[in-house]
Amino acid sequence: MRRLTALEPTGAPAASREQLEEIVARHGSAGEMIRTMAHSPALLQGYLSFSRAVKRTKLPRALSEKISLAVQEWLGCETCLNAHAEAARTAGLTDTDIALARQATATDPREAALLTFALKVLAEPAAISDDEISDLAAHGWTERTIADVVALVVLNQLTGTFNLVAGI
């Protein structure tokens, strides 16, 4: 059930209106989540800036979608799961890859280790140990990759949590 309404640019606060009008001018429309975030200019600006920044990570698109699927499965956001499953297919993932990612695992042990780490970042970051970081390094993951995973998890937590709260 919808809890928050999606706004049209004309009904949005002034700071959000400008951002929505820019999105509509570039893309022809603004999605439901973005139009709902427009209730809070700070949230909308933060999301748009952070989302653009996370797109510059060095994670391969298919791996990024696997991480997003694992996080959204844990959060329980069906809207996000559907969007990321479609994006995963576009990135070349099979239905089996998608099903495994939703379980935070993969056939590749390197990716499985990274997916396990991503869920731990989401669910219990204070419990991440030095050994777990060393294990990721032993799998060939760099410190940049580890940092990029944290950013991707946080972005997915923001969108999934917002959609669940808003009832999208």
Q: What is the pLDDT of residue 109?
A: 97
Mean pLDDT on 77-86? 98
Q: What CA–CA distance (Å, rounded) separates 159 from 150?
A: 14
Q: Residue 32: is its pLDDT beyond 90?
A: yes
- Same-domain check for residues 74 and 45: no
The domain in which residue 32 lies consists of: 9-54
φ and ψ at residue 79, rounded to 5 degrees: -60, -45
* CA 29, 55, 43, 160 torsion-angle sign: positive
pTM above 0.85, yes or no: yes
Report yes or no on 134 lying in a domain: yes
Domain count, the chain: 2
pLDDT in tens, 82-137: 999 999 999 999 999 999 999 999 999 999 999 999 999 999 999 999 999 999 99
Residue 4 resides in a domain: no
pLDDT at 136: 98
